[in-house]
Structure 1
Amino acid sequence: MLANVCVDSHMRDLLEAGFEVAVVRDAVAAPKLPDGDGYLAALINYRFMANASGPRTRRSISSWQALARAASAVDREGIMTRSNIATVPAGLFGMVLGLAGLGGAWRAGHVVWALPVFVGELVMLTAGFVWLILTSLYALKWLIARDVALAELAHPVQCCFVGLVGVATMLVAGGLAPYSYGVALALYIGGALFTFGFAIWRTGGLWQGGRDIIQTTPVLYLPSVAGSFVASTVGGALGFADLGTFFFGMGFFTWLAIESALLHRLLTAPTLTSALRPTLGIQLAPPVVGAVALIAVAPQAPILLVHAMIGYGVLQVLILLRLLPWILKEPFAPSYWAFSFGVTALAIAPIRLIALGDDGVILYLAPVLFGFANLFMLILTAGTICRLLQGRLLPPPNVAPTP
């Protein structure tokens, strides 16, 4: 079938019928005339209308094979089997980020407002417990389902979540620091090495080009921006504030670079598919997680910059609230944990400023943001527990669709 006639026509028909359509661009062809290139014209139309036009034949076949394995991993009642549990996606480590963030907010609240200390420690313990389970299952995936792990690693969107493994490990180290400095330091070093090793590998791949703009989503922040800011924050807590300033610089300038590319994609490229819209929650994280990092490693830094970063975070929250009906077209899923780290960091930063002596608007903003973070995390946790009890927490071991 001709790419610019037959395939194009079928694509439009399927889109009008409500299907999400991906076109395998090296599996179609079209004539090329002296005054026009039919194949190029078809690709332009695909990028404007199709949900995905980037995957090539080999990657598409890999995704179909993963879907076939997913079908065999679920029994007739739809209950997840042991082989499916072994293929836990790296994106679930976002739960650890949110829980550790909430624990950090309660720890800061204990210092400033004398909140009960056991609440923060209990949340931190929960974060560590979830991290231990997910780390064990993720390691098991590489042992018994290596092809699924490699498919996830090769995916243009889902691969970025792999960076959360190291980020979550560093956050657990920060939670453990008051109790066992040696163990915390070992976890921090291991998490940092994994995070930056993966970030360098992934960023190097991006710099080689050939990426479809519709594959640019907020998950790009995860390997380098989130990793650098968390390495800065936890490093400061472990006594490496000077080193943490270098990590802060890595995260800060990478954030600005990626944000410009991401906003260009959001403004000019086709809309995100419903399954990927919850990842917009990651957009909130860089300014506020960066603010927490700056306070941790350079409390003497000009307060104007910290205020500006928190203010930008508040703006992101308001924009996301305006988009909430559009985002909620995607039913509740663990992907909504993408909001959690940014929401909890937005609560932490103002409280830590109060601890440093800030006594302006932040005195009124801090309790509002702290209450908002707790309400959000309560709803998110309740929804997650419901899915767990229904046996629908873990997704089938397929690779997420290309946007």
Structure 2
Amino acid sequence: MAISERTILLRVPASFFGIVLGLAGLANCWRIAHRIWDMPSALGEAIFAVAALTWLVLASLYALKWVLVPADARAEAEHAVQCCFIGLGGVATLLIAQGALPYSHAMAIALFLLGSAFVLAFGLWRTGLLWRGGRDHAATTPVLYLPTVAGGFVAGTTAALLGWPDWGQLALGGAAFSWLAVESVLLHRLYTGVPLAPPLRPTLGIQLAPPAVGAVCYLAVGPGMPDILVHALIGYALLQALLLMRMARWIGEQPFAASYWAFTFGATALAAATMRSVSAGDHGALATLAPGLFLLANVLVGAIALGTILLAFTGRLLPPAAAAPPSEPQGPRS
């Protein structure tokens, strides 16, 4: 294959699946807004269409990377940080299944099965390697949530939407307890280790996602009524959002890049969780917060999308073609 083709494949990282998460998350918010505030439904469906097209392009490129440049794909999979973004491929597929559900139940089921299988297989593979130890603490970032926590919560929500809440409850359990375990490791590293290097700081945006996405999942697989646990999860998500705002200048020492999409899924899930609660009859604090969070989610995703388009037009979207840093030691693989 031509060198230029190989370079393009190498420079489209799995982390770009985060774009799909942000777009699909915002589309879900607009669907809920149509239901509770009679907002235009066409806008949400249009955003889902863009998310689906983005997913199709990225999934095709990622599959081609394994076919045409398998050594480069393996290098990404063995990288101490970039590897975990591969799990977003399954999460993105599950979100596209949610988007497809009103149009084709059969397609939604097929995408759900594909996404769930990918999430489970990747989560087991990656977590099995992590359990062997030998990891550099400097490589410990919120990307560790991606293999099991993000996939489990989104799989649980999607299963419930397809009419299988009992399966969704199993996914909720796996994701929730994985979240608590990983968070303890991550906070210990952030409190006691060296500061995150600027290129890794945008990954802190992922920190907002687990409680927010967990609240959405709990509302989907449970009785559907916002109870004290939903309020507690949203409260913790709000705390994470405020902490990220407080750290914005420090995080912003990393110039804008596609990595800032890490903030979008948690932000849209936080808005969606409050709006779902309002839809279920919550007229208290969450009803007060929901419009503002919906507005902020739109502003955030819109600004990052605009910045990404500008990067693409100026040729600065893709990371530079360079050899990947050494992978963490893992021992024999199986």
Give the TM bin, normalised by the shorter chain: over 0.9
Q: Summarize the Cα distance change of 1:284–1:150 in structure 2 as closer, same or farther, 3 Å threshold.
A: same
By how many angstroms is 1:267 displaced? Answer: 0.3
Q: Distance in 2 between matches of 1:113 and 1:210?
A: 51
By how many angstroms is 1:301 displaced? Answer: 6.1
- 2:259 pairs with 321, 335, 344, which one? 335
By how many angstroms is 1:213 displaced? Answer: 1.7
Matches within 5 A, 1:167-316: 167-300=91-224, 303-316=227-240
Partner residue in 1 for 2:35:
111
By how many angstroms is 1:293 displaced? Answer: 0.5
Q: Summarize the Cα distance change of 1:132–1:312 in structure 2 as closer, same or farther, 3 Å threshold.
A: same
Q: Is contact 2:225–2:280 with CA below 8 Å preserved after alignment? A: no
1:83 and 2:6 aligned: yes
Please tell me the residue identity of whatever aligns with 2:163.
G
By how many angstroms is 1:83 displaced? Answer: 2.5
Partner residue in 2 for 1:356:
280
With the length of structure 2 as denominator, give the TM-score of the two structures.
Answer: 0.94
Q: Distance in 1 between matches of 2:225 and 2:140?
A: 33
- 2:63 pairs with 139, 158, 163, which one? 139
Identity %: 53
Q: Distance in 1 between matches of 2:324 and 2:234?
A: 32
Q: Summarize the Cα distance change of 1:239–1:397 in structure 2 as closer, same or farther, 3 Å threshold.
A: farther
By how many angstroms is 1:302 displaced? Answer: 6.3
Larger deviation, residues 115-124 vs 142-151: 142-151
Which structure 2 residue ranges, 5 or more long, are not aligned?
329-334
Q: Distance in 2 between matches of 1:317 and 1:110?
A: 25
Q: Is contact 2:267–2:297 with CA below 8 Å preserved after alignment? A: yes
Which structure 1 residue ranges, 5 or more long, are not aligned?
1-71, 74-80
1:130 and 2:54 aligned: yes
Partner residue in 2 for 1:396:
320
Q: Summarize the Cα distance change of 1:352–1:86 in structure 2 as closer, same or farther, 3 Å threshold.
A: same
Q: Distance in 2 between matches of 1:382 and 1:302?
A: 34
By how many angstroms is 1:84 displaced? Answer: 2.2
Please tell me the residue identity of whatever aligns with 1:340.
T
1:95 and 2:25 aligned: no
| Structure number, greater radius of gyration | 1
Q: Distance in 2 between matches of 1:253 and 1:203?
A: 14
Please tell me the residue identity of whatever aligns with 2:260.
Y
Q: Is contact 1:299–1:356 with CA below 8 Å preserved after alignment? A: no
The total of aligned residue pairs comes to 325
Please tell me the residue identity of whatever aligns with 1:294.
Y
Partner residue in 1 for 2:331:
none
Q: Summarize the Cα distance change of 1:168–1:389 in structure 2 as closer, same or farther, 3 Å threshold.
A: same
- 2:297 pairs with 369, 373, 376, which one? 373
Q: Distance in 1 between matches of 2:209 and 2:322?
A: 27
Q: Is contact 2:36–2:279 with CA below 8 Å preserved after alignment? A: yes
Please tell me the residue identity of whatever aligns with 1:395.
P
Q: Summarize the Cα distance change of 1:316–1:400 in structure 2 as closer, same or farther, 3 Å threshold.
A: farther
Q: Summarize the Cα distance change of 1:303–1:399 in structure 2 as closer, same or farther, 3 Å threshold.
A: farther
Q: Is contact 2:20–2:54 with CA below 8 Å preserved after alignment? A: yes
Partner residue in 1 for 2:76:
152
Q: Distance in 2 between matches of 1:399 and 1:221?
A: 25
Please tell me the residue identity of whatever aligns with 2:134.
G
Please tell me the residue identity of whatever aligns with 2:178.
T
Q: Distance in 2 between matches of 1:302 and 1:374?
A: 24
Q: Distance in 2 between matches of 1:175 and 1:146?
A: 31
With the length of structure 1 as denominator, give the TM-score of the two structures.
Answer: 0.79
Q: Is contact 2:150–2:175 with CA below 8 Å preserved after alignment? A: yes
